[in-house]
Structure 1
């Protein structure tokens, strides 16, 4: 890697990467710091036993790759994960997954291994991604000694920027509806059954591709 040491903007990311690699818990995962394929991303969503990021666990993962303007639906990942705690009744009402359905799922470490190899070094895209990443980071920490290193792209933030551009300056303090269904409808995109991990990942990917064009990125 050639670094211009006279420019802090060039040496700081490289130094940070070297520090992270030095503290990496398992050298088998160095591939996540490789140069990502150009114009590729991974859209991601999870379903969980509940909404407590410190206590609840992942029970379902859906992910697919994006290349340019194309959703690579043939390159998707759908995993059920066996939790060690009960699924809350509130969570079942949201995603409909019962304990008997996930009882035959993967062990969490096996699921995280498959997920990390699927993502590789690609940036991660999602809708309200902060929660999903917090859950995944907790699950991968025993393997990596850290959370996922890839850049994260929040589609609701992209949508907010797009809607804000449409408002006159004096209305920039106005509330913008960031609900998933509203965003998909406003963007003229097809809705799939929500709170299914793969469906939510597909919808986030569709929104990301369209918003990139609308924002000129």
Structure 2
């Protein structure tokens, strides 16, 4: 035994079938010069016990796929994660996930592995993506001992980049769906929010093409440039 092995936290004790599936996960593909329409995108939304990046936990996951320029309703993902000894806070009640729904949820390791297989090597879109990426990464590390490597793009940044005329700063999903007059029939539910984000993303992709942004790589580059401008001091 390595002298310092006791300093490293032990990983989860996964059954062999899960370990075998985990080993078969494809590495994420870097964004390239294919068209925005050709790219398969996974649009993700999480519901969590709160907004604390270090303490709160993932309650439910919803995801849809954009492919061939449209939402593919044949590719949808939804799971509620089983969470024992959960204290119900205000955010849990907003999501409508009561104790019975959470107790009847999926085993977290199984659900998270299902999600990683669903994502595959595709890039992920989310509204306020850094939060979702951090929370999902923590859950994946805790329950699978695996490092989340998927490429994430933040729809909350894409929207003001591509639609500066809206003059919406630090706006939420409701603000942007309202500005585009999208009909959203349900909110604070992972699957419904993922679908709303996907519909918003499709409009943004159309705006991107109008601005001569035709590939995922070009979109990522323009987004990085925009972020640097936002962080630069005003003169």
Q: How many residues align?
A: 185
Q: Does 2:198 align with 1:205?
A: yes
Aligned to 2:186: 193
| CA–CA distance in structure 1, aligned partners of residues 77 and 50 of structure 2 | 22
CA contact (8 A) 1:63 1:76 kept: yes
Instruction: Give the drift of 1:126.
Output: 1.0
Against the structure 1 CA distance between its residues 175 and 73, is the aligned structure 2 distance closer, same or farther, given a 3 Å change threshold?
Answer: closer
C-alpha separation between the residues in 2 aligned to 1:30 and 1:177? 35
Distance 1:91-1:155 versus aligned 2 partners, 3 A rule: same
Deviation (angstroms), 1:175: 5.8
Q: 1:87 to 1:201 in 2, by over 3 A?
A: farther
Q: Distance in 2 between matches of 1:88 and 1:29?
A: 36
For 1:47 and 1:60, locate their aligned partners in 2 and report how far apart those are by CA, in whole Å: 5
Partner of 1:215: 208
Residues 61-210 of structure 1 aligned to structure 2 (within 5 Å) = 61-142=61-142, 143-146=144-147, 148-164=148-164, 166=165, 176=169, 178-210=171-203
Q: CA deviation at 1:87?
A: 4.1
TM-score (norm 1): 0.76
How much is the aligned-residue C-alpha RMSD, in angstroms? Answer: 2.4
TM-score using structure 2 length: 0.71
Given that residues 50 and 88 in structure 1 are in contact (C-alpha distance below 8 angstroms), is that contact kept between their aligned partners in structure 2? no
- In structure 1, the partner of 2:27 is 32
The whole-number CA distance in structure 2 between the counterparts of 1:47 and 1:130 is: 14
CA shift for structure 1 position 35 = 7.3
Which is further off, 153-162 or 111-120?
A: 153-162
C-alpha separation between the residues in 2 aligned to 1:35 and 1:134? Answer: 19
Unaligned runs of 5+ residues in structure 1 are 1-24, 168-173
1:34 Cα deviation (Å)? 5.3
The SS at the match of 2:201 is helix
What CA distance in whole angstroms lies between the structure 1 residues aligned with 2:62 and 2:150? 17
Question: Does structure 2 retain, via aligned residues, the 8 Å contact 1:66–1:205?
Answer: yes
1:88: Cα distance to partner?
3.3
- Which portions of structure 1, spanning 4 or more consecutive aligned residues, are displaced by more than 6 angstroms? none
Question: How far apart are 1:177 and its partner, in Å?
Answer: 5.5
2:125 aligns to what SS in structure 1? strand
Secondary structure, counterpart of 1:121 in structure 2: coil
